[in-house]
Structure 1
Amino acid sequence: MIEEQIATAFFGRRKGKTLSPTQQNLIQDLLPALCLNPTKPIDDIHTVFDHNPSEIWMEVGFGGGEHMVRQAQNNPHVGMIGCEPFINGVVKALAAMSEASIGTIRLYDEDAAHILDWLPDASLDRFFLLYPDPWHKKRHWKRRFVSHKNLGRIIRVLKPGGIFRFASDIDTYIDWTLDHVASHASLQEECSDPSDRLDAWSDWQRTRYEEKAFREGRKPQYLSFVRK
């Protein structure tokens, strides 16, 4: 099973800027204790946390971790899983977690599909995919995280009534996501009026990427889907 998981295609960079000694220490000292291991079978995801969380949320592609860390600060009852293969983003998240003394987040620094395949059925209360790489060129659209296969994975791990949140400022990716979700009867969009997609969630934590989108004149949309 795990061999099949590891064979899943992943497109993206693992490392950008050279890590400073301090950042290297964060990777060496903090990450091992927080990093999930999908090669070990698990029956109850709650057991990877120390605080017996009442809900489990997962964010894929958390960037620098701004949204994930703030959600963890505001929701101490939640166990948060963050997946980010870009190691510079992982370092930023570790630094923020250390500074805020947050112990309710677990991380994975490889392909998020490994974790989605590893999680038990109906184990997540929320799933976040915020400003994912849009892969602008049409020939690369198959690389987008939103796909029929990944939506099937998300549906399997979401509890009935669980929420899938998606945000993007790229119209083609928004349409792509709506089209793909429409083919899955187990997901239903929360809003009935398309104009509501322009309104951020009440507990939304703005990211640096979103601030850049606004500066450059792009309007984000916020999609919410309920697991039936």
Structure 2
Amino acid sequence: MSDPVKRSIFYGRRQGRPLRKKATELVETVLPKISVPTGDLDDIKLIDLDNLFGNSGREVWLEIGFGGGEHLAWQAEHNPEVNFIGAEYFINGVASLLGHLDDNGAQNVRIYRGDVRDMLPFLPPSSLSKVFILFPDPWHKARHNKRRIVQRETLDRLAELLVDGGELRMATDDMGYLQWMLERTVPHPDFEWIAASKQDWNQRTEDWPKTRYEEKGIKKGCKPGYLRFTRLPRS
């Protein structure tokens, strides 16, 4: 067996208020059944997605930092023919997603509880058709910018994982972070901005439901930005 993988340093909360009884039960009984096995990461081998989901030939979509899980649960319910992986470190968010899945009955979701940067190296190349990074922590202070999930190295890896024509969706209600996203993704050689006009950044598509964090921001007067990029064909 190879040496265990060195895990990324995670910044931010791991747990908030204590979980309620039903949430605790879901975490204890359901989460183990639909978790991405962390043993795969320690053994340094690619995750077998067909085995993970118990089927083959389906598209796989990834949501990075799914928050309360509203968006991921909606996508899973409305796209039952797609396999979903959700990555989230915050246990309260994981419990929230489990509650949504319990309500809508979706069976096509697997959860990685941890820093997604630790999982990305173990996904097979060209295995993802869509990736969502919605309202990530903006880390406002300049000295904390390195903690932002949208970095050149992350985009490089996502470009390797996305199929040709695959889609990367990002959203934020922090205009500084929106500029940061554009400055790193627009010039990236493997991505092309999907926009009929440069004003499309403030419009969601019909298959893009709101998240709880998005609604909170809107109530506070924040104006969200929505970005869609396609993975350019490999030469």
Partner residue in 1 for 2:217:
213
Matching residue of 2:171: 167
Which residue pairs with 2:228 in the alignment? Answer: 224
Q: What is residue 198 of structure 1 aligned with on the other side? A: 202
- TM-score scaled to structure 1, two decimals? 0.94
RMSD of the alignment, in Å?
1.6
**Which is further off, 92-101 or 48-57?**
48-57
Match of 1:23 in 2: 23
Contact 2:7 2:118 in 1 (8 A): no
The alpha carbon displacement at 1:192 in A equals 4.8
Greater displacement, 44-53 / 90-99:
44-53
Q: Tell me the amino acid that sits aligned with residue 104 of structure 2.
A: A
Query: Partner residue of 1:188?
Result: 192
- Once the two structures are aligned, what percentage of the paired residues are identical? 37
Tell me the equivalent position of 2:81: 77
Is 1:63 the equivalent of 2:74?
no
Partners of 2:133 and 2:34 in 1: CA distance: 21
Q: How many residues align?
A: 227
For 1:118 and 1:66, locate their aligned partners in 2 and report how far apart those are by CA, in whole Å.
26
Question: TM-score, normalization: structure 2?
Answer: 0.91
Find the aligned partners of 2:78 and 2:70 in 1 and give their Cα distance. Answer: 12
State the Cα distance separating 1:2 from its structure 2 match.
7.1
Where does residue 33 of structure 2 map in the other structure? 33
- The one-letter amino acid paired with 2:197 is D
Please list the CA deviations of residues 30-53 of structure 1 after superposition, one character each: whole Å capped at 9, or x if unmatched: 111111024323464233113546
TM-fit CA distance, 1:195: 0.3
CA shift digits 1:47-101 (9 cap, x unpaired)? 3113546211000110110000001110000000001100000001111111222
Which ranges in structure 1 are unaligned for 5 or more consecutive residues?
none
Unmatched runs of 5 consecutive residues or more in structure 2: none
Q: Which residue of 2 aligns with 1:124?
A: 128
Q: Which residue of 2 aligns with 1:9?
A: 9
**Whole-Å separation in 2 of the counterparts to 1:147 and 1:3:** 25
